[in-house]
């Protein structure tokens, strides 16, 4: 009978847990953070789009503000899409559990 190497198993499980926590697809707080970053960038886009309509600056300055607002909107869309995709993927992966009617509820859930 072979002996199990508990230290190796624990180390592998911890590495797997850390890898999953670093992924947007498995960590809900990380996915929410991506959504928050996208919203923050979108607010900056609103300000730069307002700056592109100001008449007090030159035409080149307005064009620069407009280009920055377009670039920023693409970044905001990417951040928000990644965050929402991660949250939707997490909701899809968690199986719905029905409590057994005959037995007590599971411990720790």
Give per-residue pLDDT as tens, 95-109. 655 655 666 666 665
- How far apart are alpha carbons 41 and 57 in whole angstroms? 23
Task: Give start and end residues of each alpha helix (H) in the chain.
Answer: 6-21, 28-51, 59-93
Average pLDDT over residues 14-40: 90
> At residue 78, does pLDDT exceed 70?
yes
pLDDT score of 107: 67
Structural domain includes residue 76: yes
Residue 95's pLDDT is what? 61
- Cα separation, 37 vs 84, in Å, equals 12
Residue 50 counted as domain residue? yes
pLDDT score at 92: 76
Q: Which two tokens stand for residue 32?
A: 């929410």
> Taking a C-beta distance cutoff of 8 angstroms, is the pair 31, 83 a contact?
yes
Rounded CA-CA distance 78/15 in Å is 28
Q: Which of 94, 96, 86, 103 is nearest to 30 (CA)?
A: 86
Q: Is residue 1 part of a domain?
A: no
Q: Is the pTM of this model over 0.85?
A: no
Q: Say how far apart CA 42 and CA 75 lie, in whole Å.
A: 8
Report the alpha-carbon angle 45-47-50, nearest 5.
Answer: 110
Q: Is residue 5 part of a domain?
A: no
Token pair for 14: 């911890």
Q: What is the mean pLDDT of the chain?
A: 85
**What pLDDT, in 10s, does the model give residues 49-58?**
898 888 888 9
Question: Does 102 fall in a domain?
Answer: no
Please tell me the total count of domains within the chain: 1
The domain in which residue 39 lies consists of: 24-90
| Pairwise pLDDT comparison (36 vs 103), residue with the higher score | 36
């Amino acid at each position: 009978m072979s002996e199990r190497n508990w230290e190796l198993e624990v180390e592998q499980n911890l590495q797997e847990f850390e890898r999953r926590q670093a992924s947007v697809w498995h960590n809900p707080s990380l996915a929410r953070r991506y959504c928050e970053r996208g919203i923050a960038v979108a607010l900056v886009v609103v300000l730069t789009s307002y700056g592109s309509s100001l008449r007090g600056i030159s035409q080149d300055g307005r064009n620069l503000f407009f280009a920055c607002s377009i670039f920023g909107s693409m970044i905001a869309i990417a951040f928000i899409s990644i965050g929402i995709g991660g949250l939707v993927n997490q909701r899809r992966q968690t199986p719905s559990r029905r409590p057994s009617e005959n037995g007590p509820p599971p411990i720790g859930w």
